[in-house]
A and B are shown apart, each in its own frame.
Chain A
Amino acid sequence: MSPDATLTVQVPTLSALPGALVEVRDRELRLKGRVAPGHALALSAGSYLATVTTPAGERLIKAVEVGAGDSVEVSLEVPSPALTDRLDERVLLADVPPQRGPFPRRVHGIGLEPPFIRFLAADDGRTIDGVETEPGPDALVVRNPGVEAVVLAQLEQAGQGAPWNVALPMASYPPADHCRLQLVEGADEWRASATPVGGQFVEALASYLITGGLRQAAELAPAAATLLREKGENPVAAALGGYVLLRLGRLDKLRDWPMNLANWFSWLPDGAIIAAELSFRRGALDEAERWVEEALHRGPPMFSDGLSLLVARLRPAAGSRPKGAERLLELSRFVDFAQLALAFPGADPTDPLGGYV
């Protein structure tokens, strides 16, 4: 039967997301098409299921009857489009007043004594002054004072264990000059997680990565490549897009943009790591090794994916590892790889083991 009807599925909160796709299946669950929200799909009359997975990890399903010659439009409503829905129940931060005073800053939590927060450079541990924080609806918004470095937020609580460090996914200028920092109260210590902001695409990409939506991230992959081309606007988003494409083996989509990202943002280790990994996978070994050395020179990356990829290349090269490799290999033992941004305990972020041996 030839298609003489159309189905348009609106997903209000995803409509502006390049690459998001709605899947339409017939009654026998045969795939009839994948289509962007708001775009019409030609179908024959029949019963269909429209599904989409949101960045927060929810799957929305709607059964639709399409009559011969009909143009049917339905809406898949997203109950809550928040970036970090899965984390919300763990977030206890509330009613945080603006904190713009001198170091240290204090925030208010529930239960545990509030931690102190200070800001350090990931590469050498120096204090970063001028970082501004303000309360958001579910997290602190942290603003970069114009520093070209991977900045760590370090949470410390008197009488508790080692401070907790989390890299802040932000750059020195808009729209990537701020990020969200969520404080999570554990059984006997504070933890933190950080997520990027600065546009629906980067937030969705980050969220799909947090919630394990690699397949959905794959749908965004072509737009991630565009982000790489537009990296001058948002290097944080470009780095995330690069990691997604690497994880899914979409090397063709990366082209040479990781090298440009690495060259143009010389403070960002992630660009060099993505360039190194891409070179390894293309078999360009000399180039890969150059980028590895460059990544090591720049210090710990912003994202845990970056550290994971880098140390996986460094570890087998025992005896011939470049300078700086041992530090990152040791750091990797402490990192919480379930988090998007690099996060680990340790009083001295340049030597997290230092306080123990």
Chain B
Amino acid sequence: VTPWIQRGGNGPRTHALIVGVSAYAHLPRGDEPPPADRETFGLRQLESAAAGAAAFAAWMRDEYANPDAPLGSVWLLLSPSDRETEHVAALGAPQPPRATAAATREALSDWVQACSDPQHVAIAYLAGHGVMLSKDEGAVVLLEDFAADPLDLLANAFDVSAVRSGFGRPEMAQRQLWLVDACAVRPTALGRIEARGGVRLDGDPTHSSEISAVLTSAAPSTLALGLQGKGTLFSQALLECLERRAAVPTAEGSWAVTGTSLAAQVPVRVEELAAANLVDQRATAGGWWTGEAIHVYDEPPKVEVVIEADPEDAGPYCYATLGNGYEELFRDEPLRPRIIRAVPAGYWTVDVVVQPETPPYLTRRGVPCPAMPPAVPRQVVRMT
């Protein structure tokens, strides 16, 4: 399979494999009954998994930055639903192949080859229906032609556990991030069938990578969760965290997403988004984590600050200037009754000038306004 992205360069590189499956060849569409000739665990078509994978692929292509291991290649395989087709088309050329078992197996083989250097970074993103495993293993993710063979139902499924185990070998990329976004097959539906996917590597339980972090989210039902065009709740949460929420300052004062900051923020955001959608969905962080940077920003991420006067009645007489001694982000903006503004993360101070002089309100200068992800508390400036 031709990589979706192939960039040159020597030295350590990041290589990614991204697979998203919403359309299943052997699952019923709409109100169709399940097929009578094979077990399909009561599953139906999905609507968000491929869009989420496409959004993550676009982020990798356009935003991902890791000076220790710049992006080298991305293998992308998508099986979009009809409604997701436009999101995949928006990725532009080349269009990714469909996520069948044969194509995925071939891409896996190429990706493994690319990752065969302990200095490299390996990133895997798998989305679709899945049989959930433990939080150190992720899931067995069902590919487009799942259940093609009624006698070997999981032959066309990606076994994250086995592939990760295979990546434990010392010659493989020793820094790994496994992202698994699965709409969970009910554990009872599988009966006593072993959860063993056919797209796999020969795992070696005796080996371990240095860093092999696993973020897994199990959607609670066969319904596709997520806003149209924005992918699944997990993909939304993941991208929000990569873009801003999981950003932390480095020792030198620049900004990065680290393994531990991602592990802390993604489960929180998944839970928040799920609650907003009135469902119970969690994400778990398994495997081995460190504070090493996954993504490094070339400029601080934007965070939203809210500045308001106390009491609110002072607002019409107040004009705010936000800066840090070197630069001003805005000057003499009216507080009527508050300013809401996305600003670069950092340590800012706000001056609030009362104009014209209106007792009992007092001008305030140099009020600290630290703007740090993931969220900035309201900055209430006391004017009396």
Contact = CB atoms under 8 A, between A and B. Distances in A.
Contact of A214 (B195, B252, B289): B289
A311 B165 CA distance: 12
Contacts of B161: 312, 315-316
Given A29-B346, A312-B136, A338-B282, A218 B206 contact: no
B148 interface: no
B108 to A, nearest CB: 16
Contacts of B283: 338
Contact of B162 (A31, A59, A316): A316
Nearest to A63: B368
Interface stretch (A113-121, A173-181, A227-235, A327-335): A327-335
Contacts of B133: 311, 315, 332-333
A308 B249 contact: no
A357 B135 contact: no
A350 interface: no
Contacts of A265: none
A270 B134 CA distance: 16
A30 B249 CA distance: 8
Interface string A251-280: 000000000000000000000000000001
A288 B207 CA distance: 11
B253 A318 contact: no
A16 B265 CA distance: 27
Contact of B284 (A187, A214, A312, A338): A338
Given A30-B251, A311-B137, A312-B136, A338 B267 contact: yes
A307 interface: yes
Contact of A212 (B191, B205, B267): B267
Contacts of A214: 260, 263-264, 285, 289
A186 interface: yes
A110 interface: no
Contacts of A211: 264, 268
Given A57-B268, A281-B208, A249 B288 contact: yes
B251 A31 contact: yes
Contacts of A25: 249, 253, 347
A350 to B, nearest CB: 15
Interface string B250-269: 11110000101101110110
Contacts of B188: 353, 356-357
Contacts of B358: none
Contact of B137 (A49, A59, A308, A330): A308
Interface majority SS on A: helix, strand, loop or mixed? mixed
B190 interface: yes
A57 B216 CA distance: 20
A214 B287 CA distance: 12
A63 B260 contact: no
B195 A333 contact: yes
B136 A308 contact: yes
B60 interface: no
A88 to B, nearest CB: 14
B190 A333 contact: yes
A17 to B, nearest CB: 18
A214 B131 CA distance: 27
Nearest to B206: A285
A27 interface: yes
Interface in A296-331: 304-305, 307-309, 311-318, 329-330
A30 B283 CA distance: 32
Interface size class of A (residues with CB under 8 A): 35 or more
Contact of A28 (B205, B253, B289): B253
Interface string B102-146: 000000000000000000000000000001111111000000000
A237 B366 CA distance: 46
B217 to A, nearest CB: 10
A312 B370 contact: no
Contact of B196 (A61, A314, A318): A318
A337 B286 contact: yes
Interface string A145-188: 00000000000000000000000000000000000000000110
A357 B187 CA distance: 12
Contact of A218 (B135, B249, B285, B291): B291
A18 interface: no
A353 B265 CA distance: 33
Given A49-B370, A212-B267, A280-B206, A311 B134 contact: yes
Nearest to A210: B267
Nearest to A34: B251
Interface in A221-252: 246-249
A81 interface: no
Contacts of A338: 267, 282-284
Nearest to A313: B205
A267 to B, nearest CB: 23
A304 B133 CA distance: 12
Contacts of B288: 246-249
A316 B324 contact: no
- Residue of B133, B261, B283 contacting most chain A CB atoms (<10 Å): B133
Interface of B: 131-137, 161-162, 165, 187-188, 190-192, 194-196, 203-206, 208, 210-211, 216, 249-253, 258, 260-261, 263-265, 267-268, 280, 282-291, 324-325, 346-347, 368, 370, 372
25 contacts: A25-B249, A27-B324, A29-B249, A49-B372, A57-B264, A61-B370, A61-B372, A63-B368, A63-B370, A187-B280, A214-B263, A218-B260, A247-B288, A285-B206, A308-B135, A312-B136, A313-B205, A315-B133, A315-B203, A316-B162, A316-B204, A337-B135, A337-B284, A338-B267, A338-B284
Q: Shortest 9 CB-CB distances between A and B: which pairs? A: A316-B203, A63-B368, A338-B282, A308-B134, A312-B136, A212-B264, A337-B135, A29-B253, A215-B260
Given A212-B267, A338-B284, 4 more contacts: A26-B253, A212-B268, A248-B290, A281-B208
